[in-house]
Every structure is written in structure tokens, then in C-alpha cells.
Amino acid sequence: MSDMELCARLTAGDLDALAAAYDEHGSYVYGVAVKITGSRAQAEEITQSVFVTLWEQPLSYDPSLGSLRGWLVSRALHQSALRSRVS
């Protein structure tokens, strides 16, 4: 499924699209978060937060600006950096 199709399905409230996005990209998001924070627990929270944002605000991702994986990882990097700085 393309990022455009996935985005359309998420916007329509298709929970299976969220599951598909997680299955395809979740390990990348989690891996980035673990690498930055050094904490599996924080990485799990960040991963959950990133995918909750995708579900609640699917239009915040614009497929014309880049890949979904890039968008998700970017959000994970940002959240991880914020948590690392606070800790």
C-alpha cells in the first residue's frame, strides 16, 4: 500500500491502516527512540505517542512532502531529543 493510500485510509478512520503503518514502520520508530534516549521504556512511550498522533491527526502528514517513514522517524527524533534534554 502506498503512503498516499495509507494517508487516505487513516483520514477515513480506518483502524486497519494504522495497524498496517505500525507493522511496517513501528520498529524503525522504536529503534530511533531507543538509540536517542537509551531507554526501552521511553522508546515505547515515544513510539506509542507518534502513532497516536498519526491516528488522531492524520492530516498532519502530507505525502507530497516525503515518506510516511520519514515523517514518523522525524517525530520520534524530535520527541526523543526533548526527553533526553529534560532527563
> Please, which pLDDT band fits residue 1 given cuts at 50, 70 and 90?
confident
- DSSP codes, 42-74: HHHHHHHHHHHHHHH-GGG--GGGS-HHHHHHH
Q: Which three cell numbers stand for residue 46?
A: 515515544
Q: What pTM, to 2 d.p., does this model score? A: 0.91
d(CA 40, CA 34): 6
Topology annotation, domain 3-86: Rna Polymerase Sigma Factor; Chain: A (1.10.1740)
Task: Give the domain ranges of the chain.
Answer: 3-86
pLDDT (tens digit, 9 = 90+) per residue, 2-50? 899 998 999 999 999 999 999 999 999 999 999 999 999 999 999 999 9
For the chain, give the longest Cα–Cα distance: 38
